[in-house]
């Protein structure tokens, strides 16, 4: 908090007393902090040793009592601050603003998702008036939205390398380099396995079952070997 020079006492003795009081407060704060650190260190040491070397109930009660006293003091100070803020608002004529309420009702669906428009029309026999038999005319449309989940799908990529030859020369086109050469896993499949394992915490044996539902067999051992190759590739590209 900034100190106003005009509020400082002019008497040198009063200024010296203020400095001494602040120094005593700092000493008490440092001593209390050192006491808490010592008690916490003893608690951590007691957890790492045998039961016979753990802290006694009296020591634990001492730590709990000190903590409760400190917590009560902080709550009292916080209540005082809240009272001061309330008095300040009342004096300034500024009423407290009500808490911001969350919007109610159904919220619009995410706008970044791809939309698929499905038109539901009447059959031809219903496009006539039942009373007079005249043809009905389109006047408006009613639109509603819903979420639909599209499950992940797998596909097989065939790399066809064309080969050309002449009497003395044979040339074959080269396919793009892969994260793991001569492997059945492409870059997108490797990314899916790694993200599911480390970001979504999905074990390999569960991923194995998921691939089985797609009709393919990828063992957890094979996926375990796939995890190391991308990390080596990333280390090589960062060098």
Q: Are 124 and 137 in contact (CB under 8 A)?
A: no
- Assess whether pLDDT exceeds 70 at residue 193: yes
Per the rule left: phi > 0, alpha: psi between -120 and 50, beta: everything else, 69 is: alpha
> Which of the residue ranges 7-21, 99-113, 187-201 would you say has the lowest mean pLDDT?
7-21
- Please indicate whether residue 84 or residue 142 has the higher confidence score (pLDDT): 142
Q: Which helix (H) or strand (E) holds 108?
A: none
Q: What percent of the chain has pLDDT over 70?
A: 68
Nearest to 35 by CA among 4, 6, 69, 9: 69
pLDDT of 92 strictly over 60: no
Q: pLDDT-derived band of residue 174, with 50, 70 and 90 as boundaries? A: very high
Nearest CA to 227 out of 194, 200, 199, 202 is that of 194
- Kindly state the average pLDDT of the residues 114-127: 91
Give the span between the Cα atoms of 100 and 92, in whole angstroms: 22
Task: Kindly report which listed range (22-26, 60-64, 92-96) carries the lowest average pLDDT score.
Answer: 92-96
As a residue count, the chain comes to 239
DSSP codes of every residue in 35-97: HHHHHHHHHHHHHHS-GGGSPPHHHHHHHHHHHHHHHHHHHHHHHHHHHHHHHHHHHHT-PPP
Q: Which of 26, 22, 18, 21 shows the shortest CA–CA distance to 8?
A: 18
Question: How many helices (H) and strands (E) in the chain?
Answer: 6, 2
Answer yes or no: are the C-beta atoms of 199 and 188 closer than 8 Å.
no
CA 238 to chain centroid: 26
Check pLDDT > 60 for residue 96: no
Q: What pLDDT shows up at residue 207?
A: 94
Distance CA 228, CA 239 (A): 17
pLDDT band at 72 (very low <50, low <70, confident <90, very high): low
Mean of per-residue pLDDT scores for the chain: 78
Distance between CA atoms of residues 101 and 96, nearest Å = 15
- Segment 206-228 shows an average pLDDT of 91
Question: Cα–Cα distance between 205 and 220 in angstroms, integer?
Answer: 6
Q: Residues with Cβ < 8 Å from 32, sequence gap 6 or more?
A: 70
pLDDT of residue 89: 53
């Amino acid at each position: 908090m900034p100190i106003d020079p005009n509020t400082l006492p002019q008497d040198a003795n009063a200024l010296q007393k203020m400095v001494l009081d602040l120094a005593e407060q700092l000493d008490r704060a440092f001593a209390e902090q050192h006491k808490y650190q010592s008690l916490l260190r003893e608690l951590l040491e007691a957890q790492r040793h045998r039961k016979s070397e753990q802290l006694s109930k009296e020591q634990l009660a001492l730590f709990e009592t000190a903590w409760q006293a400190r917590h009560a003091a902080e709550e009292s100070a916080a209540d005082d601050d809240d009272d001061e803020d309330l008095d300040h608002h009342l004096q300034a004529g500024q009423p407290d603003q009500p808490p911001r309420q969350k919007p109610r009702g159904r919220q619009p669906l995410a706008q970044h998702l791809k939309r698929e428009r499905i038109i539901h029309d009447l059959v031809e026999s219903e496009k006539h008036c039942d009373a007079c038999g005249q043809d009905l005319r389109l006047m408006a449309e009613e639109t509603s939205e819903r979420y639909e989940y599209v499950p992940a799908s797998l596909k097989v990529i065939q790399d066809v390398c064309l080969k050309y030859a002449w009497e003395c020369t044979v040339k074959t086109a080269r396919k793009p380099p892969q994260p793991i050469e001569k492997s059945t896993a492409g870059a997108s499949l490797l990314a899916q396995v790694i993200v599911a394992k480390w970001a979504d915490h999905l074990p390999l044996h569960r991923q194995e079952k998921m691939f089985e539902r797609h009709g393919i067999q990828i063992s957890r051992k094979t996926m375990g070997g796939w995890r190391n190759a991308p990390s080596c590739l990333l280390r090589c590209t960062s060098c």
